[in-house]
Amino acid sequence: MPVATPDRIPPADLLVVTGAGDWPADCAARLPGLPMIASSLAYQLPVEAPRAAEFRSRLKAITASSPAEASVFDDYLGTRRPITVVGTPQTDALPRHTPEPGTVLVLTSVTRSSQTGGSAPGTELLLAAAERLAAAGKHILVGLHPREDRSLWERYEISSVPSVQASARAEAAIGIPGTVFPVVAAVGVPLVGCTDPRLQIPGYLLSVCSHTITAADAAVSAVAEAKPVSRDVLYEAVGPIGGSARRLLKVWRKSGIRV
C-alpha cells in the first residue's frame, strides 16, 4: 500500500480521519482541497476534541461501528449530525468459538511507557490477575499488544495469531476494556474487565464485560462466573456483524466521488 507523508503526498480523492487529535487535524489543514470523512475505528471519549472544530464542517460523512460508538463519536467531534453505523470489519470473518478447557485469554495493554507511546493504568492489576489465574490452574494464553514488553509475559503461552483469532480457544478473556473487547464478545467469549480509577472507559466497552474487577484477588471468581453478553448488548456495542468492510468502503467511495 502506498504511504503518504507530509512531504510526499500522492494524488488522492478522499481524506479519512479516525479522530480529531493533532495529527489528523494537521493533515486536514495540509490538504484543504480534499473531501473528508471521519470514521471511528478505535474508541474515543464522549468529550469534544479541542481541534475538531477546525475541520468538522468539511466532513462529507461520518461512520462508526455501532450505535453506542456513534453516540460517543458524535460527542467527540461535536457534530450533532447523523452518523452511519457500518459495523466492525473485524467481525466479517469471526473464528468459531471452540474453547479449550481451562484456557483464559489475557488481552494485554502497554505496561511501560516508551518513545512509541504511553502506558495504560491498570496494567499492573492485569499482570497480578494473570498470576492468580495461573496459580488457580488456568492455562494463560496471551494476546500481546503490539507495543507491550514481551518479556513480561513469556512465562505464559503468547499467541502466534491476533487476539480475536486467539479468543476462539478461550473459555473467558480478561483485560483492560478497549477496542477489541466488543469484537471478542462477538466471538462468544465471556469478558472480565480490569478497571482503574485513573482510566476513562466508555460505557459501551464496560457493557460487554460480564464482570469488572479492581483487585487481582477477584480475578478467579470473576472468570469462573463470566457469561457471554446478550444479543441486544452486543449489537449496541459492536454493530451489525457481517458485511462491515463492504458498508464502510461504500460510504468512503461515495464520499470520494467528485461532482
Residue with cell 483487585: 215
Domain range for 121 is 93-238
Question: Do residue 162 and residue 210 come from a single domain?
Answer: yes
φ, ψ at 76 (rounded to 5°): -65, -40
In terms of domains, do 46 and 125 share one?
A: no
Q: How far apart are CA 208 and CA 43, in angstroms?
A: 14
| % of residues, the chain, pLDDT over 90 | 77
Q: Number of folded domains in the chain? A: 2
Asked if residue 97 and residue 206 are part of one domain, the reply reads yes
Q: Which grid cell is 48? A: 469534544
**pLDDT range class, residue 116, cuts 50, 70, 90:** very low
Report whether 173 contacts 107 (CB < 8 A). yes
Assigned domain for 6 exists: no
pLDDT bin (cut points 50, 70, 90) of residue 117 is very low
Least confident range of 2-16, 57-71, 130-144? 2-16
My answer on whether 80 and 97 are in the same domain is no
